[in-house]
Amino acid sequence: MAFALVTSLFFLWAFVHNLEPILIPHLKKACQLTDLQSAMIDSAVYLGYFLMAVPAGLVMKRYGYKRGILVGLALYAFGALLFVPAANTRVYLLFLGALFIIASGCAFLETAANPYVTILGPPETAATRLNLSQSFNGLGAFLAPFIGGKFILSGIEHSESELAAMTPAQLNSYLQFEADSVKLPYVVIAVVVIAVMGLFMITKMPEVQKSLEGRVSSLRTALRHRHLVNGIWAQFFYVGAQVCVTSFFIRFAKFANGVPEKQAADWLGYAMLGFMIGRFVGTFLTRYIAANRLLTLYSLASMGLLAVAILVQSGLAVWAVFAVPFFQSIMFPTIFALGIDKLDDDRELGSSLLVMAIAGGAFMPLLMGWISDQINIQVAYIVPLLCFAVVAWFGWRGYRVMSE
């Protein structure tokens, strides 16, 4: 029961994060934003991870996994409920604040769940085990675009000239209608999270004493592990790439092939189904192919697909981006497992640092949004392509365990 509950956390944070590609074009309309401004949705989320990862790790170390998870779930639910006043006022900063709080809660959840799974079993199968648990992450990623597309996106896409022709009252009514659609989904999310929180409260959670005892790790001692430092950079650029690929997919599909937003949201859902399938395939392949080698191969495949997306102006470009999540599927858990390999007493801090590296998702979309505003969204996909090059290097050489 305890393991099943922890595994459910993978679904919960994946679901809410994969609503962000829906929120970006939606709030772009409702709050009348540029691409750069809409990318701040990702920045708010991943800055939450960056700022809360180390405090989350310290809470786990002092009070245990269960209490840390309960704190994370409480923050998650509170942030989701804040979408109601944010939508009522249509103040973009309130949306960003709500997303920041949700992300802060998810930082607690990920800091607890990822090392918990790697510790429960032999170290040599940690990557395989984490990939298996993260398959439920893939399920959440698959379902979110469909549900978000159905309940959040209206499908109404007015041109600039049509908006300009509206009276102030008509424009306000339209924008408020768009903003209000986020309220019901996020209230339902909050209710589900509160229910899961209740289950955690009544369930006895085994603590892994090895992870809570021993000498106190310091940042200096943790960073003496060269492969951890390399893993932090790889995770930074991987998450940046992942967020860029999915967050701008709906915008890209419309730009490259005129795909309507609701249809593009469905396509994104199927792309995330590929992500989920990729997790299962990756779990199987890591039994026969070294995790680092598979990481390199998948990174190179992602780079090739993005090159096609940048160079081709047709439906083929959309299909190329559509295929990338399949190859992204194993990257986060594989980098994580390789990064904390043989850290021993530095495991908790190392885990927190790897979660902090998720801040790449705060910065890369801003760069991509800026390039999109200056040139176009298609050229902007050069950003995730270059990020995957760093991940390929980590799988090729950077993963090797070395300590100074």
The tally of CA atoms less than 13 A away on the side-chain side of residue 82 is 18
134 or 110, which is more confident? 110
Cβ neighbors of 223 (< 8 A, separation 6 or more) are 229, 353
Closest CA to 68 of 187, 208, 191, 188: 208
Q: Is 225 helix (H, G, I), strand (E, B) or coil?
A: strand
What does the pLDDT read at residue 74? 97
Chain segment 298-352, per-residue pLDDT in tens: 999 999 999 999 999 888 999 999 999 999 988 988 998 888 887 766 677 787 7
What is the distance between the alpha carbons of residues 395 and 340, in angstroms, rounded to a whole number? 14
**Percent of the chain residues topping a pLDDT of 70:** 92
Decide if pLDDT at 217 tops 60. no
Decide if pLDDT at 212 tops 50. no
* Mean pLDDT, range 63-85, rounded to an integer: 93
Q: pTM of this prediction?
A: 0.82
Q: What is the average pLDDT value for the chain, to the nearest integer?
A: 87
What does the pLDDT read at residue 213? 44
> In the structure, what pLDDT confidence band is assigned to residue 215 with cuts at 50, 70 and 90?
very low
For the packed helices 331-339 and 126-133, what is the interaxial angle rounded to 10 degrees? 140
Residue ranges per structural domain of the chain = 2-398
DSSP annotation string for 116-141: HHHHSS-GGGHHHHHHHHTHHHHHHH
What does the pLDDT read at residue 58? 83
What does the pLDDT read at residue 343? 76
Q: Is 403 helix (H, G, I), strand (E, B) or coil?
A: strand
DSSP annotation string for 174-206: HHHHHHHTTHHHHHHHHHHHHHHHHHHHHS---
What does the pLDDT read at residue 16? 92
Fold of 2-398: Growth Hormone; Chain: A; (1.20.1250)
